[in-house]
Structure 1
Amino acid sequence: MLPWKPPWKHIARALSVLLLTAAATLVPGAAAQADDAPSRGWNDYTCKPSAAHPRPVVLVHGTFGNSVDNWLGLAPYLVNRGYCVFSLDYGQLPGVPFFNGLGPIDASAAQLDAYVDKVLAATGAAEADLVGHSQGGMMPRYYLKFLGGADKVNALVGIAPDNHGTTLSGLTQLLPYFPGAQDLLTSATPGLADQIAGSAFMTKLNAGGDTVPGVRYTVIATKYDEVVTPYQSGWLSGPNVSNVLLQDRCALDLSEHVAIGTVDRIVFHEVNNALDPAHATPTTCASVFS
């Protein structure tokens, strides 16, 4: 039997998340309460896009997330920089409150379709920009590809998206060894089953190419992702695609799957660059203070 070794790498990453959370809390405007969101312009349907930021930004939460908790850091960050920011809930299951993104992903994409129409009607804008975390960075691609979203969207920014599915660190590869497990997963939480690498949903989504014409795509990934595995499965191929590894911007950043989309201000800076490339500034470790 091999001697036990302390999981130092996992401990270091956990500490990194705590430190980033503290930084996000201490920097003004990095955190907001749900009741505070409308007064700050987040989900404020009276907000009109400016000449500097002519498109509303729609934030798309990840699996088990919701329209508030996933965006307590990024939404105020963008509002404070002059964007009209909105967020939706999708993929709800009957009898499961608070935790969303569990329903069939094609149905979730239809919810996004209706929500974008609502935002465009309220703001008077012709197009929106989408920013999504995890499933929220991948699911909009179905909307763009199959539901006519390409005519209404300028850019999609995916933060740790599972664009080609995930093995969940190999755990999903064990499903065939447990009779009935795959069927149970599909019936109980189809949104999870759809995200397994090689699923029928993933095969359909990526058949014929990753992208559609007329949309700019940005993927921001972390090599410490323990949910989207391997992390390279998030990369996209095609024109107008920018794949960004967080550690290429800041080698000291140990953010994993949750932190990269919720509290990491280095990532927030990169998102802002993707939304406004004409005024982009270098993203570095110092971006946590910007």
Structure 2
Amino acid sequence: MLPWKRALRPVAALLLTTAVVVVPATTAQAAEAATTSHSGWNDYSCKPSAAHPRPVVLVHGTFANSVDNWLALAPYLVNRGYCVFSLDYGQLPGVPFFHALGPIDKSAGQLSTYIDTVLAATGAAKADLVGHSQGGMMPRYYLKFLGGADKVNALVGIAPNNHGTTLAGLTNLLPYFPGAEDLLTTATPALAQQVVGSEFMTKLNAGGDTVPGVRYTVIATKYDEVVTPWRTQFLNGPDVKNVLIQDKCAADLSEHALLGLTDRIAFHEVTNALDPARATPTTCASVVG
């Protein structure tokens, strides 16, 4: 067994009942994404329109990548006239496909570089960010500590881990397994940093959740089994809109993964957040919108 696989085995056991299961992008999917980039997302010749003047940068979640997390949402936005881009970040040496595992502050630096590239290509002054899970939280580090607030108009977080997770109480068991916390920090820094009470979370939220000049939207589901308790996803501060998807459609049973991967009711709320001047009511009927 490869060393990185041995290191990740205890982590996988810890997360077994709550982890997001994401199928890695296959060669066919990657080829499809490359083909789509000419007329779909990651098309660097795309110029934002007057109706949608800012590019949208999609930020994937933990264990995901720039393709698999966005096979539904990216085309959804492209078909509505947005210039859409997605990046890979947080790669660990020797770990293919599964990203967003490296130190979150370093991942925020990668996001900063990527946004500069997108803004240069599109000619836009600012971008809008849409992220799932860690991807809805990590950009807050960029906004708060890396000067991102000057380059971002809005951040939309889908099931973001904004204040740390208890993993439905599993993190309370870590002290009973000697060395588990150290192994988690060494093998997969981003997982350790997302645990409630971590040094990273304390720094991220010290002095307030938001920074001036950026609009924040959080879209959560009460069935989230990964970021728990689900209410901790919500932000406090000016220019914040917190949305519980079941308040829009009580019949929506999406949990953590599906909310970002396939939930068109959540997608409709994303477009409302990106273009509030043209927002329309989000209901159960939005699934066919």
Matched, 1:39 2:38: yes
Partner in structure 2 of residue 196 of structure 1: 195
Partner in structure 1 of residue 230 of structure 2: 231
Partner in structure 1 of residue 6 of structure 2: none
Aligned-partner Cα distance in 2 for 1:258–1:160 = 8
Partner in structure 2 of residue 50 of structure 1: 49
1:67-106 → structure 2 map (5 Å cutoff):
67-106=66-105
Partner in structure 1 of residue 183 of structure 2: 184
Aligned-partner Cα distance in 2 for 1:287–1:104 = 37
Matched, 1:210 2:209: yes
Matched, 1:286 2:285: yes
Contact in 2 for aligned 1:91/1:108 (Cα 8 Å)? yes
Aligned-partner Cα distance in 2 for 1:131–1:36 = 22
Amino acid in the other structure paired with 1:182:
E
Matched, 1:144 2:124: no
Contact in 2 for aligned 1:40/1:76 (Cα 8 Å)? no
Partner in structure 2 of residue 129 of structure 1: 128
Contact in 2 for aligned 1:105/1:139 (Cα 8 Å)? yes
Aligned-partner Cα distance in 2 for 1:119–1:89 = 14
Contact in 2 for aligned 1:128/1:154 (Cα 8 Å)? yes
Aligned-partner Cα distance in 1 for 2:172–2:36 = 41
Return the offset for 1:174.
Answer: 0.4
Amino acid in the other structure paired with 1:205:
L
Moved more, 166-175 or 146-155: 166-175
SS where residue 282 of structure 1 aligns? coil
SS where residue 183 of structure 1 aligns? helix
Identity of aligned residues (%): 81
SS where residue 139 of structure 1 aligns? helix
Amino acid in the other structure paired with 1:53:
H
Partner in structure 1 of residue 21 of structure 2: none
Partner in structure 1 of residue 110 of structure 2: 111
Contact in 2 for aligned 1:273/1:279 (Cα 8 Å)? yes
Aligned-partner Cα distance in 2 for 1:268–1:176 = 39
Aligned-partner Cα distance in 2 for 1:213–1:85 = 25
Contact in 2 for aligned 1:273/1:280 (Cα 8 Å)? yes
Offset from partner CA, 1:133-159 (integer Å, 9 cap, x none)? 000000000000000000000000000
Partner in structure 1 of residue 269 of structure 2: 270
Aligned-partner Cα distance in 2 for 1:255–1:40 = 30
SS where residue 80 of structure 2 aligns? coil
Offset from partner CA, 1:80-128 (integer Å, 9 cap, x none)? 0000000000000000000000000000000000000000000000000
SS where residue 75 of structure 1 aligns? helix
Aligned-partner Cα distance in 1 for 2:153–2:33 = 28
Return the offset for 1:254.
Answer: 0.1
Amino acid in the other structure paired with 1:263:
T
Aligned-partner Cα distance in 2 for 1:223–1:78 = 25
1:242-257 → structure 2 map (5 Å cutoff):
242-257=241-256
Return the offset for 1:34.
Answer: 1.9
Aligned-partner Cα distance in 1 for 2:39–2:45 = 11
Aligned-partner Cα distance in 1 for 2:267–2:39 = 17
Contact in 2 for aligned 1:46/1:122 (Cα 8 Å)? yes
Partner in structure 1 of residue 22 of structure 2: none
Return the offset for 1:37.
Answer: 2.4
TM-score by length of 1: 0.88
SS where residue 53 of structure 1 aligns? coil
Aligned-partner Cα distance in 2 for 1:288–1:131 = 19
TM-score by length of 2: 0.89
Aligned-partner Cα distance in 1 for 2:39–2:56 = 14
Amino acid in the other structure paired with 1:250:
C
Matched, 1:260 2:271: no
Aligned-partner Cα distance in 1 for 2:32–2:76 = 13
Query: Would you say how many aligned residue pairs link Structure 1 and Structure 2?
Result: 259
Return the offset for 1:40.
Answer: 2.9
Aligned-partner Cα distance in 1 for 2:223–2:123 = 40
Aligned-partner Cα distance in 1 for 2:55–2:270 = 14
Return the offset for 1:173.
Answer: 1.0
SS where residue 288 of structure 1 aligns? helix
Contact in 2 for aligned 1:33/1:72 (Cα 8 Å)? no
